[in-house]
Structure 1
Amino acid sequence: MRLSMSTFSLTLPLVFLLSPDITQAESASNAGVKVEKLLETEKAWDGSVYKTYPEGTPQLTVLKITVAPQTHLDWHTHPAPNAAYMLSGVLTVEKKSGGEKRIFKAGEALPETVGTVHRGYTGDEGATLVVFYAGKKGLPLSQPAK
Protein backbone atom coordinates (compact mmCIF):
# COMPACT_ATOMS: atom_id res chain seq x y z
CA MET A 1 0.00 0.00 0.00
CA ARG A 2 1.35 3.45 -0.88
CA LEU A 3 0.20 6.64 0.82
CA SER A 4 1.06 10.23 0.09
CA MET A 5 1.34 12.80 2.87
CA SER A 6 -1.93 14.36 1.65
CA THR A 7 -3.89 11.18 2.43
CA PHE A 8 -3.31 11.34 6.17
CA SER A 9 -6.25 12.36 8.31
CA LEU A 10 -5.52 15.41 10.41
CA THR A 11 -6.01 15.30 14.14
CA LEU A 12 -4.91 18.10 16.41
CA PRO A 13 -4.24 16.70 19.87
CA LEU A 14 -4.15 18.87 22.97
CA VAL A 15 -0.54 19.90 23.45
CA PHE A 16 1.08 21.83 26.30
CA LEU A 17 4.44 23.42 25.54
CA LEU A 18 6.58 24.34 28.54
CA SER A 19 9.62 26.59 28.36
CA PRO A 20 12.62 25.72 30.58
CA ASP A 21 11.78 28.61 32.96
CA ILE A 22 8.17 27.47 33.35
CA THR A 23 9.32 23.87 33.76
CA GLN A 24 11.52 24.76 36.73
CA ALA A 25 8.78 26.85 38.35
CA GLU A 26 6.12 24.17 37.81
CA SER A 27 8.36 21.39 39.11
CA ALA A 28 9.16 23.33 42.26
CA SER A 29 5.57 24.33 43.08
CA ASN A 30 3.58 21.32 41.79
CA ALA A 31 4.83 18.06 43.23
CA GLY A 32 2.36 16.18 40.98
CA VAL A 33 3.89 17.47 37.76
CA LYS A 34 6.56 15.43 35.97
CA VAL A 35 8.41 16.92 33.01
CA GLU A 36 10.46 14.67 30.74
CA LYS A 37 12.53 16.22 27.95
CA LEU A 38 12.02 14.07 24.86
CA LEU A 39 14.25 15.91 22.44
CA GLU A 40 16.54 18.93 22.31
CA THR A 41 18.67 19.19 19.21
CA GLU A 42 20.03 21.45 16.51
CA LYS A 43 20.35 18.52 14.10
CA ALA A 44 18.09 16.17 12.14
CA TRP A 45 18.27 12.36 12.48
CA ASP A 46 20.90 12.22 9.72
CA GLY A 47 23.17 14.74 11.48
CA SER A 48 22.37 17.70 9.22
CA VAL A 49 22.25 21.02 11.10
CA TYR A 50 19.05 23.08 11.12
CA LYS A 51 19.87 26.44 9.55
CA THR A 52 16.89 28.79 10.03
CA TYR A 53 13.14 28.96 10.38
CA PRO A 54 11.11 30.34 7.49
CA GLU A 55 10.42 34.07 7.64
CA GLY A 56 6.81 35.22 7.80
CA THR A 57 3.85 34.63 10.08
CA PRO A 58 4.74 31.61 12.23
CA GLN A 59 2.36 28.68 12.09
CA LEU A 60 2.56 25.57 14.26
CA THR A 61 0.87 22.40 13.05
CA VAL A 62 0.51 19.14 14.96
CA LEU A 63 -0.55 15.96 13.14
CA LYS A 64 -1.26 12.47 14.43
CA ILE A 65 -0.21 10.12 11.64
CA THR A 66 -0.96 6.41 11.52
CA VAL A 67 1.00 4.38 8.97
CA ALA A 68 -0.35 0.91 8.21
CA PRO A 69 1.92 -2.14 8.27
CA GLN A 70 3.99 -2.73 5.11
CA THR A 71 3.54 0.87 3.90
CA HIS A 72 6.12 3.01 2.10
CA LEU A 73 5.50 6.76 2.13
CA ASP A 74 6.32 8.66 -1.04
CA TRP A 75 9.72 10.34 -1.34
CA HIS A 76 9.38 13.91 -0.07
CA THR A 77 11.11 16.88 1.59
CA HIS A 78 10.17 19.28 4.36
CA PRO A 79 10.73 23.03 3.91
CA ALA A 80 10.80 23.77 7.68
CA PRO A 81 11.95 22.05 10.87
CA ASN A 82 9.68 19.44 12.42
CA ALA A 83 9.92 16.61 14.89
CA ALA A 84 7.84 13.55 15.65
CA TYR A 85 7.12 11.50 18.76
CA MET A 86 6.57 7.81 18.15
CA LEU A 87 3.42 6.71 19.98
CA SER A 88 3.54 3.10 18.80
CA GLY A 89 5.19 0.76 16.34
CA VAL A 90 8.37 1.07 14.32
CA LEU A 91 9.19 3.47 11.49
CA THR A 92 12.32 3.32 9.34
CA VAL A 93 13.36 6.60 7.72
CA GLU A 94 15.78 6.66 4.81
CA LYS A 95 17.45 9.23 2.59
CA LYS A 96 17.14 8.77 -1.15
CA SER A 97 20.69 9.94 -1.73
CA GLY A 98 23.06 7.37 -0.25
CA GLY A 99 20.36 5.22 1.33
CA GLU A 100 21.20 6.19 4.94
CA LYS A 101 18.57 4.72 7.30
CA ARG A 102 17.52 5.00 10.92
CA ILE A 103 14.88 3.07 12.84
CA PHE A 104 12.58 4.82 15.34
CA LYS A 105 10.46 2.93 17.87
CA ALA A 106 7.61 3.78 20.23
CA GLY A 107 8.72 6.27 22.88
CA GLU A 108 11.43 7.87 20.74
CA ALA A 109 11.57 11.36 19.23
CA LEU A 110 12.44 11.79 15.55
CA PRO A 111 14.02 15.11 14.45
CA GLU A 112 13.16 15.33 10.74
CA THR A 113 15.41 16.50 7.93
CA VAL A 114 14.82 19.79 6.10
CA GLY A 115 15.29 20.02 2.33
CA THR A 116 16.53 16.42 2.05
CA VAL A 117 14.67 13.83 -0.04
CA HIS A 118 13.62 11.01 2.26
CA ARG A 119 10.73 8.69 3.13
CA GLY A 120 9.50 6.52 5.94
CA TYR A 121 8.25 2.96 5.84
CA THR A 122 6.86 0.34 8.17
CA GLY A 123 7.30 -3.40 8.48
CA ASP A 124 4.83 -5.89 9.92
CA GLU A 125 3.93 -3.63 12.84
CA GLY A 126 2.89 -0.24 11.43
CA ALA A 127 3.41 3.00 13.38
CA THR A 128 1.58 5.93 14.93
CA LEU A 129 3.36 9.22 15.53
CA VAL A 130 2.58 12.81 16.46
CA VAL A 131 4.45 15.31 14.30
CA PHE A 132 5.09 18.92 15.34
CA TYR A 133 5.78 21.32 12.45
CA ALA A 134 7.25 24.82 12.99
CA GLY A 135 6.58 26.55 9.70
CA LYS A 136 4.88 29.66 8.41
CA LYS A 137 1.43 30.47 7.12
CA GLY A 138 0.99 29.19 3.55
CA LEU A 139 4.10 26.95 3.59
CA PRO A 140 3.36 23.28 2.88
CA LEU A 141 4.32 20.77 5.57
CA SER A 142 5.93 18.49 3.00
CA GLN A 143 6.58 18.53 -0.71
CA PRO A 144 6.80 15.58 -3.15
CA ALA A 145 10.34 14.86 -4.33
CA LYS A 146 11.17 16.02 -7.83
Structure 2
Amino acid sequence: MRNGFKRSLTKSCAAFCVAIFGGAQIPASQAAGRVHTETLLETQSSWDGTPYEAYPAGTPQLSVLKIVIPPGTALKWHLHDVPNAAYVAKGSLTVERHQDGLHRSLKAGEVLPEMVKSMHRGIAGPQGATLIVFYAGKKNVPLSRP
Protein backbone atom coordinates (compact mmCIF):
# COMPACT_ATOMS: atom_id res chain seq x y z
CA MET A 1 0.00 0.00 0.00
CA ARG A 2 2.88 2.34 0.71
CA ASN A 3 4.15 2.07 -2.90
CA GLY A 4 0.65 2.79 -4.17
CA PHE A 5 0.52 5.92 -2.03
CA LYS A 6 3.94 7.03 -3.33
CA ARG A 7 2.83 6.49 -6.96
CA SER A 8 -0.37 8.41 -6.31
CA LEU A 9 1.53 11.24 -4.63
CA THR A 10 4.06 11.35 -7.50
CA LYS A 11 1.26 11.48 -10.09
CA SER A 12 -0.51 14.22 -8.11
CA CYS A 13 2.70 16.27 -7.85
CA ALA A 14 3.38 15.82 -11.55
CA ALA A 15 -0.16 16.89 -12.44
CA PHE A 16 0.19 19.95 -10.19
CA CYS A 17 3.50 20.91 -11.82
CA VAL A 18 2.04 20.51 -15.32
CA ALA A 19 -0.94 22.64 -14.35
CA ILE A 20 1.22 25.37 -12.82
CA PHE A 21 4.09 25.39 -15.30
CA GLY A 22 2.36 25.33 -18.63
CA GLY A 23 0.97 21.93 -19.56
CA ALA A 24 -2.65 22.65 -18.65
CA GLN A 25 -5.19 24.22 -20.96
CA ILE A 26 -5.92 27.84 -20.11
CA PRO A 27 -9.33 29.21 -21.02
CA ALA A 28 -9.19 31.86 -23.77
CA SER A 29 -10.51 34.43 -21.29
CA GLN A 30 -7.34 33.97 -19.17
CA ALA A 31 -4.79 33.58 -22.00
CA ALA A 32 -3.98 37.31 -22.01
CA GLY A 33 -3.09 37.05 -18.33
CA ARG A 34 -0.29 34.51 -18.77
CA VAL A 35 2.86 35.16 -16.79
CA HIS A 36 5.83 36.16 -18.94
CA THR A 37 9.35 36.20 -17.55
CA GLU A 38 12.20 38.07 -19.24
CA THR A 39 15.72 38.19 -17.84
CA LEU A 40 16.76 41.84 -17.91
CA LEU A 41 20.21 41.34 -16.43
CA GLU A 42 22.46 38.47 -15.44
CA THR A 43 26.11 39.32 -14.88
CA GLN A 44 29.12 38.83 -12.67
CA SER A 45 30.61 42.23 -13.50
CA SER A 46 29.69 45.91 -13.54
CA TRP A 47 28.98 47.85 -16.73
CA ASP A 48 32.69 48.67 -17.18
CA GLY A 49 33.67 44.98 -17.05
CA THR A 50 35.02 44.94 -13.49
CA PRO A 51 34.19 41.56 -11.88
CA TYR A 52 32.14 41.64 -8.69
CA GLU A 53 33.78 40.37 -5.52
CA ALA A 54 32.08 38.29 -2.85
CA TYR A 55 29.12 39.76 -1.00
CA PRO A 56 29.95 41.41 2.31
CA ALA A 57 29.77 39.07 5.30
CA GLY A 58 26.99 39.70 7.81
CA THR A 59 23.24 40.11 7.78
CA PRO A 60 22.00 40.67 4.21
CA GLN A 61 19.81 43.66 3.56
CA LEU A 62 17.97 44.09 0.27
CA SER A 63 16.85 47.57 -0.72
CA VAL A 64 14.88 48.78 -3.73
CA LEU A 65 14.79 52.52 -4.38
CA LYS A 66 12.87 54.61 -6.89
CA ILE A 67 15.09 57.54 -7.84
CA VAL A 68 13.71 60.44 -9.89
CA ILE A 69 16.38 62.70 -11.40
CA PRO A 70 15.32 66.03 -12.98
CA PRO A 71 16.27 66.77 -16.60
CA GLY A 72 19.96 67.52 -17.12
CA THR A 73 20.87 66.92 -13.47
CA ALA A 74 24.30 65.43 -12.74
CA LEU A 75 24.48 63.42 -9.54
CA LYS A 76 27.45 63.97 -7.26
CA TRP A 77 30.40 61.63 -7.65
CA HIS A 78 29.84 58.61 -5.41
CA LEU A 79 30.59 54.93 -4.96
CA HIS A 80 28.81 51.84 -3.68
CA ASP A 81 30.24 49.23 -1.33
CA VAL A 82 27.61 46.65 -2.32
CA PRO A 83 26.43 45.24 -5.67
CA ASN A 84 23.39 46.92 -7.21
CA ALA A 85 21.57 47.24 -10.50
CA ALA A 86 19.51 50.12 -11.89
CA TYR A 87 16.52 49.76 -14.22
CA VAL A 88 15.69 52.87 -16.24
CA ALA A 89 11.89 53.12 -15.95
CA LYS A 90 11.56 56.50 -17.74
CA GLY A 91 13.81 58.92 -19.58
CA SER A 92 17.51 58.40 -20.12
CA LEU A 93 20.73 58.40 -18.14
CA THR A 94 24.43 58.56 -18.89
CA VAL A 95 26.76 57.00 -16.33
CA GLU A 96 30.35 58.14 -16.16
CA ARG A 97 33.42 56.62 -14.49
CA HIS A 98 35.46 59.25 -12.61
CA GLN A 99 38.95 57.88 -13.21
CA ASP A 100 38.91 58.21 -17.00
CA GLY A 101 35.54 59.53 -18.19
CA LEU A 102 34.42 56.19 -19.63
CA HIS A 103 30.65 56.45 -20.01
CA ARG A 104 27.57 54.53 -21.06
CA SER A 105 24.16 55.87 -22.07
CA LEU A 106 20.89 54.12 -21.22
CA LYS A 107 17.27 54.65 -22.15
CA ALA A 108 13.98 53.49 -20.68
CA GLY A 109 13.77 49.71 -20.41
CA GLU A 110 17.51 49.14 -20.06
CA VAL A 111 19.35 47.83 -17.00
CA LEU A 112 22.75 48.82 -15.66
CA PRO A 113 24.91 46.65 -13.40
CA GLU A 114 26.41 49.35 -11.17
CA MET A 115 30.05 49.77 -10.26
CA VAL A 116 31.24 48.73 -6.78
CA LYS A 117 34.02 50.62 -4.97
CA SER A 118 34.67 52.82 -8.01
CA MET A 119 33.78 56.52 -8.19
CA HIS A 120 31.07 57.35 -10.75
CA ARG A 121 28.00 59.49 -11.36
CA GLY A 122 24.82 59.58 -13.39
CA ILE A 123 23.60 62.43 -15.60
CA ALA A 124 19.92 62.55 -16.54
CA GLY A 125 18.91 63.20 -20.13
CA PRO A 126 16.67 66.02 -21.41
CA GLN A 127 13.48 64.31 -20.11
CA GLY A 128 15.06 63.38 -16.78
CA ALA A 129 15.32 59.81 -15.53
CA THR A 130 13.36 57.57 -13.23
CA LEU A 131 15.35 54.62 -11.92
CA ILE A 132 14.42 51.56 -9.93
CA VAL A 133 17.60 50.47 -8.15
CA PHE A 134 18.04 47.12 -6.40
CA TYR A 135 20.84 46.88 -3.81
CA ALA A 136 22.12 43.55 -2.46
CA GLY A 137 23.61 45.06 0.67
CA LYS A 138 24.43 44.43 4.26
CA LYS A 139 22.78 45.74 7.41
CA ASN A 140 24.39 49.00 8.62
CA VAL A 141 26.35 49.55 5.36
CA PRO A 142 25.27 52.67 3.43
CA LEU A 143 23.95 52.15 -0.09
CA SER A 144 26.28 54.83 -1.45
CA ARG A 145 28.85 57.28 -0.19
CA PRO A 146 30.65 60.34 -1.57
TM tier, smaller: 0.7 to 0.9
Tell me the matched-pair count. Answer: 120
C-alpha distance in 1, partners of 2:20/2:127? Answer: 37
Task: For residue 126 of structure 2, give the secondary structure of its aligned residue in structure 1.
Answer: coil
**For 1:63-82, what aligned pairs fall within 5 Å after superposition?**
63-82=65-84
Q: TM-score, normalised by structure 2?
A: 0.78
Paired residue for 2:52?
Answer: 50
Paired residue for 1:110?
Answer: 112
Q: CA offsets per residue over residues 7-63 of structure 1, 9 Å max, x none?
A: xxxxxxxxxxxxxxxxxx954368611101100000101111001111100000000
Larger helix proportion, structure 1 or 2?
2
C-alpha distance in 2, partners of 1:47/1:111? Answer: 10
C-alpha distance in 2, partners of 1:91/1:103? Answer: 6
Between Structure 1 and Structure 2, whose CA radius of gyration is higher? Answer: 2
- Percent of residue pairs identical: 56
Q: CA offsets per residue over residues 81-139 of structure 1, 9 Å max, x none?
A: 00011101110000110100000110001100000000001131100010000001000
Corresponding letter in the other structure for 2:135: Y
Task: For residue 22 of structure 2, give the secondary structure of its aligned residue in structure 1.
Answer: helix
Corresponding letter in the other structure for 1:65: I
Q: TM-score, normalised by structure 1?
A: 0.78
C-alpha distance in 1, partners of 2:75/2:59? Answer: 29
C-alpha distance in 1, partners of 2:94/2:23? Answer: 40
Paired residue for 2:22?
Answer: 28
Coordinate RMSD, CA, aligned: 1.6
Unaligned runs of 5+ in 2: 1-18, 27-33
